[in-house]
Amino acid sequence: MNRKHIYLLLFLLLFGFIGFAQKFHISTQKKFEKVRFELVNNLMIVPVELNGAKLSFILDTGVSSPILFNLTDQDSVQINNVSEISLRGLGEGEPIKALKSEGNTFKIGSAKSFNQSLYVVLDKDINFSASLGVPVHGIIGYDVFKSFVVDINYQKRSLKLFNPKSYQYKTSKKKQTLPLTIIDKKAYVDGAVALSDDEEVPVKLLVDTGSSDALWLFHDPEKGLEVPDSNYEDFLGKGLSGNIFGKRTKLNGIRIGNFRLNEAKVAFPHKESLNAIVNLGDRNGSVGGEVLRRFHIIFDYVNNKITLSKNASFNAPFHYNLAGIDLQHNGVRYIAEQIADVNGVVTGDNKTFGNVQLLLENRTRLSLVPEIVVSGIRAGSPAEEAGLREGDIILAVNGRKVYGYKLQEILQMMNRKEGKRIRILIERYNKDLLFSFVLKDLFKTKKP
């Protein structure tokens, strides 16, 4: 499914004013530092301490400097040596106001960085926690990757940070080490794509663990990167400067090194959303988390290498948003639940036992649960045709109440497979309404 792709795109900010990059360090007595992460919508969310405050950051190979962008009234974080600046990222909006801060201390596990610069986005509307369903306070990337050899195990949800000077490569027929080009603090890898036939077009791709999407390509007919006829208009994500839209389609395949993924999902973002990219150079797109999570990856920025090996998810099918619904958290709500007795019987009715009738007390309790709302609907999708609207509150999917599930699990319920009937109970203007639709193959009908 094409979940609401959280594509922060901070690598596109104009960071020419950064004087130098800080480094993380671990004890010389440790071989490596192991850090657990949470994988949400193909994004790695790692625990980070900022000046002693415990926060959660997305680990993103595409970002030059740490950025703090989601502070609530309950958060208390000290930041040092602050000045005001303007930032511009992807999207069709205007630059935003932000703060630059210096002299901060970051800690990831036992790895520490002192005198660290970071940027604080002040716009409270930039809140990616609502779309991910978990708290996310910021994003961090280059300062971690240039400090260590970073071993990412998507299957075990863990990464290991090795000292580049002492790291030893292990040879294996299952692994392949490829050149990794570092330009302006961003990592690039060479690959190839096959569009509507098996003829491959070589491409240079930004490696972006901060994108939950699979693959983005920039429309370039001279290069052979045409949008296939079978496509549909889609919301691709949200950048610092607004929403990003483009054409969603699929390729015959994408190849990186000797690894080929067939029937790969791809998007061609509209040119208007790429205004923040001053110079594309010879870059043709980016490869994101829905592809990267299929590998065990070792990033070695110091020696310009990336090592790939397949994991158990390699041949998993690519997911599309068949229903056409995007969801997000919208605060919390109270629900009333009837309480069962010790025998599991819900009270509140007249019960007859032989010739004796007992009136049992009606017992309920109020529970505070997340409120899940429709944040967007794709035009022409089954959900739109059925009558669902943006702002509808989701109560249940196929008879299952949603408040006991994570946001991504709810999206999975709505996008099981082509041909499946989906029944969604929603609340609209204090009325409960039931909608039903059938999931359709997005590429059976060619679109002009």
Residues 6 or more apart whose Cβ sits within 8 Å of residue 37: 44, 45, 46, 59, 157, 158, 159
Span 98-136, pLDDT tens digits: 788 888 999 999 999 988 888 888 766 666 777 777 888
Span 243-297, pLDDT tens digits: 788 899 999 999 999 999 999 999 999 887 666 554 667 899 999 999 999 999 9
Q: Output DSSP code: residue 340.
A: B
Segments in 61-203 forming alpha helices (H): 129-132, 142-145
Say how many C-beta atoms besides its own lie within 10 A of residue 72's C-beta: 10
Length in residues, the chain: 448
* Distance from the first to the final alpha carbon of the chain: 23
| Three-class SS state of 144 | helix
Say how many C-beta atoms besides its own lie within 10 A of residue 355's C-beta: 5
Q: In what order do the strands lie in the sheet with 158-162?
A: 32-36, 158-162, 149-153, 295-300, 305-310, 175-179
- What is the structure's pLDDT at 69? 80
Report the distance separating Cα 215 and Cα 278, nearest Å.
21
Going by DSSP bridges, is the β-strand pair 393-397/364-377 parallel, antiparallel, or unpaired? antiparallel
pLDDT band at 417 (very low <50, low <70, confident <90, very high): confident
Residue 208 main-chain phi, psi, to 5 deg: -130, 90
Here the tokens at position 224 are: 């052979």
Query: What residue has token string 């077009």?
Result: 201
- pLDDT above 50 for 1: no
- pTM, whole model, 2 decimals? 0.84
Say how many C-beta atoms besides its own lie within 10 A of residue 365's C-beta: 9
Query: Which of 75-84, 104-113, 246-255, 410-419 shows the lowest mean pLDDT across its residues?
Result: 75-84
| Buried-state track 81-109, b at ≥16 Cβ within 10 A, e below 16 | eeeeeebbbbbeeeebebbbbeebebbbb
How far from the centroid of its chain's Cα atoms is residue 91's Cα? 17
Span 124-175, pLDDT tens digits: 666 677 777 788 888 999 999 999 999 999 999 999 999 998 899 888 889 9
Here the tokens at position 248 are: 């969603």
Q: What is the sign of the dihedral through the CA atoms of 133, 156, 138 and 289?
A: negative
